[in-house]
Each structure stands twice: as C-alpha cells, then as structure tokens.
Amino acid sequence: AQTVTQSQPEMSVQEAETVTLSCTYDTSENNYYLFWYKQPPSRQMILVIRQEAYKQQNATENRFSVNFQKAAKSFSLKISDSQLGDTAMYFCAHLWAGSYQLTFGKGTKLSVIP
Amino acid sequence: GAVVSQHPSWVICKSGTSVKIECRSLDFQATTMFWYRQFPKQSLMLMATSNEGSKATYEQGVEKDKFLINHASLTLSTLTVTSAHPEDSSFYICSARGNSYNSPLHFGNGTRLTVT
C-alpha cells in the first residue's frame, strides 16, 4: 500500500516570498507518478504540478517547482514569488500506474500574507 | 481541455432518503472513474473505483450497499447514497481519466451533501 505524509499542517508566507511544502511517500512500486494539487475555498481540485518517477529532472511549472528525491522518497513543492491567490490547501498525492488510484497526504494549509 | 462535470454541486436531503450524484466526462471517454469523500479540514479518501460495464471496487470500510455506484456508459458514473443519515454529510468528489495510457486525471467540482 502507498502512503503519503505531509508533516506541515499549516504554513504561511509573505507575499512575493518563497515557500517550500514538504511531502514524503512510501511505495514498493517502480512505475508511479507524484502530484501536487491545490484546493482553494471553492474546493475545486486543481493540478499544480506532476512528476513521473522515471524522470530524474525535477518538474517545473512557472512559479512552481519540485525537488524530487527518489531514493529518499521525498517530493517537496517550492512556490516562488508567492501570490495571494496561492492561499489554499495543498495536497501531495501518489499514483501507481497500475491502478490509477490516487493516494493523498493530509494536506498543508498555506496562507499568503499581504 | 478535458472537463468533468459533477452534479449537483450541493444538495440537502432528509434523513432516510436517497441522493444521486452524477459524474460526467464531457469531452472524453472514461473507462474508469473514482469517487472520493472529504470531511471538513481533512484529505480526500478514495471510496471506490467505478469501472464501465462492471461492478465497482470499493475500498475497505466503505459499504457497497450504502453507496451504490453505477457506471453505465463511458461518460457517466453515478453515486447513490441510500437511506442517508446525518453522518453521511460530506463533500463527495469524482475524478475520471481517459482510456489511453498516461491519460491525466480530471476532477469534478464536488458535491456538498447535507443530511438533516
């Protein structure tokens, strides 16, 4: 079974600053994907970034980047130049390609302070 | 881009009644859809995997007779909460993926169910 751990229930960051959200996971599979999802108050699940486990290069999407350490099973999210609209719950998730079932962490509530 | 429509977005029902929630893939065919439940300030918990044309696969602890899932077509899966009770009040979210390898997952907007 896969498990995903987010050790930071809440975090805050000053607007325009950089923040890193932590995530570790446990899996015995080799073919898997990792995701960060954002859930604003509307509760819509929004894909922030995705990483294929077989790729060594860290994924980047504009202000969002990850630090993927496969051996350590770590998958942190860095948000640069934080904006007020980044305020949301952030969920780290693992997906095994064999089932396409997502396993979510408990989430980190991020508040961007003006 | 691909869109998943979930309806209704919110519903209030009386205890003992049944409620049906629909999840539709609007511009792609989805062999597999997933149903999640999210309690306030908690994470999403997978309830079941819905497979078109076959029985759903339920996660441990989820009552299949309580949460009926029907995936009658490649674009529609329904979740029916039968004989609803206040403890069934929650946020229910579906997701769907296309049929090709490496197809991404898309989420519906969720349904807030309140049982009075």
* Listed residue (A44, A45, A43) closest to A35, CA to CA: A45
Which residue of chain A is at minimal alpha-carbon distance from B108? A44
- Residue A99: which pLDDT band, with cuts at 50, 70 and 90? confident
Nearest CB neighbour to A45, from listed B42, B104, B107? B107
Which residue of chain A is at minimal alpha-carbon distance from B31? A100
Which residue would you say has higher pLDDT here, B6 or B31?
A: B6
Give pLDDT, residue A88: 97
CA distance to partner chain B, nearest, from residue A18 (Å): 24
- Residue A98: which pLDDT band, with cuts at 50, 70 and 90? confident
Torsion of CA B51, B92, B97, A61, to 10 degrees: -160
Q: Do B95 and A91 touch (CB under 8 A)?
A: no
DSSP state of A54: T
| Chain A residues within 8 angstroms (CB to CB) of chain B | 42-45, 47, 50, 91, 95, 99-107
- Residue A31: which pLDDT band, with cuts at 50, 70 and 90? confident
Give pLDDT, residue B2: 61
Instruction: Write out pLDDT tens, residues B58-108.
Output: 999 999 999 999 998 899 999 999 999 999 999 999 999 877 766 778 999
- Residue A97: which pLDDT band, with cuts at 50, 70 and 90? confident
Give pLDDT, residue B1: 57
Mean pLDDT over A94-113 rounds to 91
Using DSSP, state whether A102 is helix, strand or coil. strand
CA distance to partner chain B, nearest, from residue A22 (Å): 16
DSSP string, B88-111: G-EEEEEEEE-SSTTPPEEE---E
Q: Are strands A60-61 and A3-5 parallel, antiparallel or unpaired?
A: unpaired
How far does CA A101 lie from the centroid of its chain?
A: 16
d(CA B27, CA A89): 28
- Test the A interface: residue of B107, B109, B111 with most A CBs within 10 Å: B107
Mean pLDDT over A18-28 rounds to 95
CA-CA distances (angstroms) from residue A61 to A36, A43, A51, A86, B56? Answer: 11, 21, 11, 14, 35
For B33: left if phi > 0, alpha if psi spans -120 to 50, otherwise beta; the answer is beta
Mean pLDDT of chain A: 94
Q: Is B34 on the interface with A (CB under 8 A)?
A: yes
Q: Is B61 on the interface with A (CB under 8 A)?
A: no
- Test the B interface: residue of A5, A102, A106 with most B CBs within 10 Å: A102
Using DSSP, state whether B52 is helix, strand or coil. coil
Instruction: Write out pLDDT tens, residues B45-61.
Output: 999 999 888 889 999 99
d(CA A71, CA B70): 40
For B75: left if phi > 0, alpha if psi spans -120 to 50, otherwise beta; the answer is alpha
d(CA B11, CA B7): 9
Which residue of chain A is at minimal alpha-carbon distance from B34? A101
